[in-house]
Every structure is written in structure tokens, then in C-alpha cells.
A and B are shown apart, each in its own frame.
Chain A
């Protein structure tokens, strides 16, 4: 009918293969997480299976297992490193080895330079001015590419500039998303919205695709607007072995097994079993098993 809303809008729901065909060798990639929460692990396993190479990883400030896995699989050239570790399980062994053996390039970072870099990237601002106290740290000496000493044009005081971050592709895992990319994060909010605005291409992986009517009934609950989202992929338990708040907790036994193998330099065995073994995400979940997955469910 003329003048009314079109009956059919284009859905952004795609298969894992279709959505991730945009990820090419040499690109910059962001994946959101805080420690073991809402890490898009199913998407990372897919990227490993696609044997993507020479990625520049622009993570959120507290990251770990996703980067460690991509490094072990040989997908990574450069990491913007603020925190790459396994929190209560210690250091990230593949990251540690790769840095010590100079197998990857580092852009030594911290929490504020990543958040402010993304904030600049989201608004299209060329750089962000940072306080002069960085002079007291070793960050500007370790990473002169990111921390440039400048003069505040208003006061004449020294300060530091950090560059805007605009990753080629950002992957964000959420609990609920409608077919048009309007996403709801339950539990933590780690800067997913700002990264979605900063990135050139955004892929939402979601526990569940929910009808747009739910979005419209409570628009204030949308935390990432669909207008900045390119694709939506439904991946239940897509953050396993990490946690997805309000859906399931982290799989401690699985994480301990990963950490132990990685520490012993046996991540290849883990990759064979859990990444290259199962042909797709469904087969991975079958391998983990329904009883294990159900035992992880949580309301928080």
C-alpha cells in the first residue's frame, strides 16, 4: 500500500558461512568480551576453520581466550594488548609464548586508550587527547605508534594523542537480537555499542533471534541499534566455553583443560578436537553434550 511501511523488510539473518565471508586475510578484527563473559567463541572457531591469516586484533580492554586461540591457530599478526590473560586461570599461554618468541607484533595498550580510541572511531574524530600522566608510564616508549605527545592548544600543557580505532569487522555476541540487528545485552555492558558504531562492518552473533515485535514493544531495552549492524547469526551457546550472562555460566572444566593444554604447548590437540573436529557449531555442541550444557544454565 502506498505510503505505508513495506510489508517485507530485508532480514539480516545469515548463516555463519555467509556472514563471515567478509573476514579476509590482513583485516583488523574486534571481538567483544570482558574476561570470560559474552566472548563470541563460536565465531572465533569458525574464523580458525576458515584459516584466516595476518589479522590485527583490536579487542576490548580485558580479553583472553579468543585471542589466545586465534594466535595458536596462526591467524594473528598484531594485537592491541591491554589485558590478554585467562583471569583466575592465569596467563594466556599462547599469547605469552608468541610475544616472548616475537611471533606477533604488539601495540602495547591499556584500558583507557582502547576505550577512548573506539570512542573517537565511533564519532569519526581523528584522535583522542589523553592526560599527561602517561608520561609517568612506559606505554609511550613501548608504543610510540599509539601514544604521541602533543600540546593542548588551549592551555599549552603537554598531553598525549591516541588514534581512533575503526576495525574492519567487529563480532559481538548477545543474548537476544531481532532479524534487523537490534540487539539486547543482558548482564554486562562492556562497550559493545560504541564498538558497533566504530567498526566498518558489524556481525552480531546471538543466542536467539527474537521477533521485531519484541523490540518495538520495549525499544529502550535495545543496547545496539540495528542501523549499524550488517549481519545476524543465531548461535545458541555461542560463547561456550565462556559465560553468557542470564543464560549460562562458564564451563570451568573445559577452560581448565584448555589452559592446561595451552600451557604445555599442546593447543594443537585442542584445536584438532574442538575446532577442526566438529564440522560446524551444531556438531561442536553435540560434542560438549546436552547434559553438560544444561548444567551450565543460570539466571544471572
Chain B
């Protein structure tokens, strides 16, 4: 291993894992405060997916060229170099119709079937914590693939069953009710590990742990019992090229070097 790999931060690693999922010619979307997803899209465009198009949250920018990671996807500076400014009606039309193939989403709770909750912790009528609300998470029934990422790997976030379903995950009824092209949750990426849903009943499966992290540590910090891949591998760390592009062309302000502290 070289030194560049060793000094990659958890946020830079997550950005690389997310970026590698994106395909050329597809349409991606991301939500509000989402610098990790924004970095991933900008990295994928410079690596394997030069024809990727992307919707930058509340700014309305399609294919922003801004060489910085702003703390708000709604910041109008994201319109720098963009090709179109979509309205809120456009955003609903584009998502609901199923035109977005890959989306990056999170929540205050994520469960083993990839259900997402942004509404409450505890009973809906007597919440322990009230969250901001469901916003665009119901569109999880419309997106091709939902890639879930969280910034804190915590048993209170990764739970067995969410207290409120804002964004629908996998379930026996899912295929009958979503739009036909929606495949549902595809990955969960955290500061410690990567899960997929490649199991008979589509429950989360631990596929890799990040360098320096053990399976036991991940299980201790996960509120559900994942299926274990055979074997659970080590997450491929950022390559020299990925890090050079991230630091030199995308994240000039070093946001990803400060974002997550383990």
C-alpha cells in the first residue's frame, strides 16, 4: 500500500465506493446536504461514467460543473456550468416517472430491508425524536437503484425495523406496488462497511469491511443481524488516481477530509 491510500479519510473512502457504483449513460440524483454523494458523482464522471447526467438537489442544476463541494445541494452556486435549471414540478415529474436510475439517500433510521425513515424515532403519535419529514423518500418506489449511505454507523441508525417508513425498502408486496423499473435498495455504505441485499428475502448482507475494521466491530455497531457474505472481504481503498482527482479537481476545499471523524 502506498501513503496516499493510507491517509484517505472515511468520507473519501465512502465517496469512492459510491462513485464506483455509477454507470455511464445513466441519470443520478442526490438530496439536500449531500457532499459525499456529490463527490461520488463528480468522481464517476471523471472515471468510468463520462456520460452520466445528474440532478443536484434543491439547486435545480442538471450537470453542474462547480469544482467545489458546497454544504448545500440547494445552493444556487451549483448552477455554475449547468445545462438546465429544473423547477420543483420538474423534480417531481422526473423522479415519479422513473427517469432517475440511481439515487443516493439516507435517513435517521435504515433497516435490514432498506426501509428509510426521516419522520420519527419511537411511536409516531408519541415520538422520542421528531425528524424533518419524508420529503422525496417515497420516490424510493420509483428510482432504479437506491444507494443508501450514512455518516454514522450506529445501532440507533441501522435498526431491525424502522419506526416509520418514508422510503419503501424490500418487501414481498413491493413489486406489485412500485413502478416497474424500480429495483429498490441496492447498497448500504457506512463509515465502517458495505452491505448489499443479494439474499433470497432481500435482507441486508455484509459484503465488506473497510481497511482496519473487523466484522465483529461492525456487528457490534449494527442494530440488525445481517447475513454474512462468504467471505466478507475488505473494501477496496481509494486508488491513487481516485484520491488525486478527488483532492485536486473536486474537493478543493477539503470538505471530505473534515467530514467524518472516527
Which of A's residues lie within 8 Å of B, judged by CB? Answer: 34-37, 60-62, 64, 81-85, 87-88, 91-92, 95-96, 99-100, 108-112, 115-116, 119, 131-139, 142, 187-191, 193-194, 243, 245-246, 298, 300
Cα–Cα distance between A109 and B130 once the two chains are bound (Å): 14
A115, B165: Cβ atoms closer than 8 Å: no
**Mind listing 5 A-B residue pairs with CB under 8 Å?**
A62-B135, A110-B134, A133-B138, A300-B76, A300-B79
Binding stretch for chain A, among B152-160, B173-181, B218-226, B233-241: B173-181
Assess whether B137 is interfacial by the CB under 8 Å rule.
yes
Type the 1/0 row for B46-74, where 1 means its CB is closer than 8 Å to any CB of A: 00000000000011100000000001101
CA gap between A243 and B118 in the complex, in Å: 25
Min CB gap A83→B, angstroms: 4
Please give the residue numbers on chain B whose beta carbons come within 8 Å of chain A beta carbons, in ascending order: 32-33, 58-60, 71-72, 74-77, 79-80, 85-89, 91-92, 95-96, 118-119, 124, 127-139, 141-142, 164-168, 171, 173-174, 177-179
Docked-complex contact B92 and A36, CB < 8 angstroms: no
Residues of A within 8 A of B171 (CB): 136
What residues of chain B lie closer than 8 Å to A85, measured between beta carbons?
131-133
Q: Which residues of B contact A189 (CB under 8 A)?
A: 60, 85-88
Besides A111-B91, A187-B79, 13 other CB < 8 A contacts? A36-B74, A37-B58, A87-B74, A100-B127, A110-B133, A110-B134, A111-B92, A137-B167, A138-B119, A138-B166, A142-B164, A188-B58, A191-B88
- Give the CA-CA distance A62 to B34 in the complex, in Å: 14
In this complex, which of A92, A119, A188 has the most chain B Cβ atoms within 10 angstroms of its Cβ? A188
- CB of A133 within 8 A of CB of B74, answer no
Pair B173/A136 contact, Cβ less than 8 Å: yes
Would B119 and A133 count as touching, CB distance under 8 A?
no
Residues of B within 8 Å of A88, CB to CB, are 32-33, 71-72
Q: Would you call the interface of chain B mostly helix, strand, loop, or mixed?
A: loop
How far in angstroms is the closest Cβ of chain B from A149? 12
Asked if B92 and A62 make an inter-chain contact with CB atoms under 8 angstroms apart, the answer reads: no
Within the complex, what minimum Cβ distance (angstroms) separates B22 from chain A?
23
Cα(A300)–Cα(B81), bound, Å = 11
Contact assessment for B130 and A96 in the assembled complex, using a CB-CB cutoff below 8 Å? yes
Are B58 and A133 in contact (CB-based, < 8 A)? no
How far, in angstroms, from A188 to B75 measured CA to CA in the complex?
9
Assess the B74–A188 pair: CB atoms within 8 A.
Answer: yes
**CB within 8 Å for A110 and B137 given contacts A87-B32, A300-B76:** yes
Contact A37 B74 (CB under 8 A): yes
Q: Which residues of the partner chain A approach B173 to less than 8 Å between Cβ atoms?
A: 135-136
B178 close to A190 (CB less than 8 A): no
Given contacts A131-B141, A138-B165, A190-B58, whether A84 and B132 have CB atoms under 8 Å apart is yes
A-B residue pair count with CB separations less than 8 angstroms: 161
Q: Are B76 and A139 touching (Cβ within 8 A)? A: no
A132 vs B180: C-alpha distance when bound (angstroms)? 12
Say whether, besides A112-B138, A137-B168, A139-B138, A34 and B58 are in contact (CB < 8 Å): yes
Tell me whether A138 and B58 are in contact (CB under 8 A). Answer: no
Interface residue from A34, A84, A95 paired with B74 (Cβ < 8 Å): A34
Contact (A60, B88) CB under 8 Å given A34-B74, A112-B139: yes
Interface pair B76/A137, CB less than 8 Å apart: no
Chain A contacts for B119, CB-based, 8 A: 108, 138, 142
Q: Is the CB of A92 within 8 A of B135?
A: no
Contact B165 A108 (CB under 8 A): no
Q: How far is the CA of A60 from the CA of B91 in the complex (A)?
A: 13
A87-B87 Cα distance, complex, nearest whole Å: 19
Tell me if A108 and B72 are in contact (CB < 8 A).
no
Chain A, residue nearest B166 (CB):
A137
CB–CB A300/B33 < 8 A: no
Q: Is the CB of A108 within 8 A of B85?
A: no
| A108 adjacent to B134 (CB under 8 Å) | yes
State whether A115 and B72 are in contact (beta carbons under 8 Å apart), knowing that A131-B96, A133-B138, A133-B177 are contacts in the complex.
Answer: no
CA–CA, A172 and B234, complex, Å: 52
Query: A60: which B residues are within 8 A, CB to CB?
Result: 88
Give CA–CA (A137, B134) in the complex, Å.
10
The complex places the Cα of A76 from the Cα of B74 at a distance, in Å, of 26
Interface contact B124-A83, CB-CB below 8 Å: no
Cα-based distance from A189 to B33 in the complex (angstroms): 19
Q: Which residues of A contact B168 (CB under 8 A)?
A: 133, 136-137
Contacts of B130 in A (CB 8 A): 91, 95-96, 99-100
Closest 10 CB pairs of A and B: A85-B132, A133-B141, A136-B168, A245-B76, A191-B88, A187-B76, A83-B135, A99-B130, A34-B58, A35-B74
Tell whether, in the assembled complex, residue B138 and residue A110 are in contact, meaning their CB atoms are under 8 Å apart.
yes
Q: Which of B92, B124, B131 contacts A142 (CB 8 A)?
A: B124
Give the complex CA separation of A85 and B134 in angstroms.
Answer: 11
